[in-house]
Chain A
Amino acid sequence: MDSIAGNFLLVRADALSLLLPLDGIGAAGYLEEEPKATELPGLFTTGHADQSRFVIAPSGRLRPLAHYPAARFVVTPLAFEGKNILVAWSEMKVLIAARFDVHELPPAATSHGSPVRGYVRMGGRPVFRTDPQRLLGFMFSGAGPDD
């Protein structure tokens, strides 16, 4: 079992909890209006004209939600392939100077292209460890919205 220490972002999408390294993640924000759908299912925009930004809301399976849930107004900008994508969460916390024991995922629960690298436990529940590249790479990997 490995240990990790540092500053982290703890986020939740429905029942799914994720732990990301805080380094490189922009300041969290709040959406003041419901994002608008784009031609791409699961991808939304917020803001006006040249100020608009893409928004995506992960499901509990880490797939883009097809319909934007009104309760997802907390967003964090995550860098992906040269763009900052706003990712909308059910809940978000910043953890400073935290330390965790990391458990490996059982081989049966992993697959090629898995977006998570092990998990830590908080309150008995698994919090899956990932990073912006893996997270958004998986969400944009082509399976499309499933919720």
Chain B
Amino acid sequence: MTEVDTPFAPARALSYAPGRDAAFAEHCAVALMETPPIHEVPGAPIHCLGLIEWTGHLIPLIDLRKLVDRESGASQTMPGHVLVLAWQAAPGEALQYGAVCAPSLVTAIRVSDAQCCAAPEDLRSLETIAAAFFERDGQRVPILDTRSLFAAGVSEGS
């Protein structure tokens, strides 16, 4: 197969920290919100900043930087924008929602199988929640599986 006829999949990418990008399948990204109020949850994992309201529901907000870096500090991150994501636990079930901090612009990208690569050493913690990794502009970027990202015990298992 030549590069010309390599199929591309649409995705959404964001930088969760300087020089660190993550991507999601295009159909999972449903909305972008600006600085929503955050309701902290006592005892939540450090990477879960709390709950935010979206269309009448309270949904979890995750800071990918804290998930990757395993920050232990309790300081509150001001997320700026947040990207609301959706997933379906099983066919026929209602959509579920969660959000991730989006401190940078969320961009539309296209990813092909030819870009696929192995997980970099510094992102091993994302292997269990990444559907795949791909190379883009010299950076290895995870495509995160939304359902796995918002499952219980992500930080313990990753």
Q: What is A's interface to B at a CB cutoff of 8 Å? A: 15-16, 60-63, 103, 105-116, 119, 121, 124-126, 128, 138, 146
Contact = CB atoms under 8 A, between A and B. Distances in A.
**What's the dominant secondary structure at chain A's contact region?**
loop
Contacts of A111: 43-45, 153
24 contacts: A16-B40, A16-B42, A61-B40, A62-B42, A63-B74, A106-B59, A106-B98, A107-B151, A107-B152, A108-B45, A108-B48, A108-B60, A108-B151, A109-B50, A111-B43, A111-B44, A112-B156, A113-B43, A114-B44, A126-B39, A128-B41, A128-B42, A138-B42, A146-B74
A91 B44 CA distance: 23
A8 B42 CA distance: 19
B39 A125 contact: yes
A73 B50 CA distance: 28
Contacts, number: 72
A15 B40 contact: yes
A61 B74 contact: yes
Given A106-B150, A108-B150, A108-B154, A126 B51 contact: yes
Nearest to B44: A109
B14 interface: no
Nearest to A143: B74
Interface in B93-107: 98
**What's the dominant secondary structure at chain B's contact region?**
mixed
Interface residues of B, number: 24
B53 A124 contact: yes
A64 to B, nearest CB: 12
A147 B154 CA distance: 26
A8 B39 CA distance: 21
Given A106-B98, A107-B150, A126 B43 contact: no
B78 to A, nearest CB: 15
Contacts of B42: 16, 61-62, 114-116, 128, 138
Interface in B132-158: 149-154, 156
Contacts of A103: 58
B13 interface: no
Contacts of A63: 74
A108 to B, nearest CB: 4
B45 to A, nearest CB: 5
B130 interface: no
Given A109-B48, A112-B156, 5 more contacts: A109-B50, A111-B153, A115-B42, A115-B43, A138-B43
